[in-house]
Amino acid sequence: MSDDQTPSVAANLRTRLLQGDRLLGTMLTLPNGAVAEVLSSTGFDWLFVDAEHGPFEAAELQLILQIVGDRTPCLVRVPTHDEIPIKRALDLGAAGIIVPQVNSADQARKLVGYCRYAPLGNRGVGIARAQGYGQRFASYVENANEQTTVIMQAEHIRSVENIEDIVAVPGVDGILVGPYDLSASMGLMGQIDHPDVVAAIDRVTQVCKTANKPLGIFGVTSQAVQPYIERGYTLIVAGVDTLMLAHGAGKMLKDLRGA
């Protein structure tokens, strides 16, 4: 919390997530501040910054967070389960992290520990942008455990098999289903409507609802995520910056040629 006690965008995001608000976001894969600024200005509740598949280096991630992170909370999908990229994203000012391919409770427990300061975890303590370069160090460290959002991705059949144990790990704030990687892990690449893939997602859905754990989903269009919104999913990722740019430009060109 800042010195004037105004809740940060990170605190607001986690509070809204845990109380069940619908949070609408989109995916940022281009390490470009202007693209992030445009998406932020449209009014999304949050941005999914993809440092797993997107070409984000630390300096580029910091630039994105400097430009938009103080008004639109950014959850950074880290590239690996290693401590360093998680610590770096949080120290740069991310509102939280999304971790891909979390397939067991042991993995989830370790990852939560990287995100929480002692005594709840073992996050490294340093002076960085998130702490106001030291000027808000005490207040940041005091509040970070309560304000940092930690999302695990269920995107492998092993995650589906272990989902009860994963959601039971303290500090896991929500589960984001990755239907495309899940289908690939089942030998059904891209067949997200296949009955077996649908059944796997249904299992995750039912377990999370029973545990009162927030659910998220990614879809390339608003139509793709609408059925999940109707089922109670609240952490929504619709669209990708590159696809929106291509589709918008393509539609304009088609209209021009048609004229």
pLDDT, tens digit, 9 for 90 and up, residues 194-211: 999 999 999 999 999 999
Would residue 1 count as lying in a domain? no
Active-site entry in 53, 81, 156, 194:
53
What is the tens place of the pLDDT at every residue in 43-83?
999 999 999 999 999 999 999 999 999 999 999 999 999 99
pLDDT of 229: 98
Please report, for the domain that includes residue 148, its CATH number.
3.20.20.60
Would residue 239 count as lying in a domain? yes
d(CA 30, CA 187) in angstroms, rounded, equals: 29
DSSP E strand boundaries for the chain? 23-28, 46-50, 74-77, 96-99, 149-154, 174-177, 215-219, 235-240
Would residue 2 count as lying in a domain? no
**Does the pLDDT of residue 3 top 90, yes or no?**
no
Number of domains observed in the structure of the chain: 1
Q: pLDDT tier at 259 (50, 70, 90 boundaries)?
A: confident
Distance of CA 251 to the CA centre of its chain: 29
- The residue range of the domain holding 61 is 9-258
**Does the pLDDT of residue 5 top 50, yes or no?**
no
Which tokens hold the place of 208? 């999370």
What is the tens place of the pLDDT at every residue in 168-187?
999 999 999 999 999 999 99
Would residue 4 count as lying in a domain? no
d(CA 74, CA 49) in angstroms, rounded, equals: 7
Would residue 197 count as lying in a domain? yes
User: Is 247 one of the annotated active-site residues of the chain?
Assistant: no
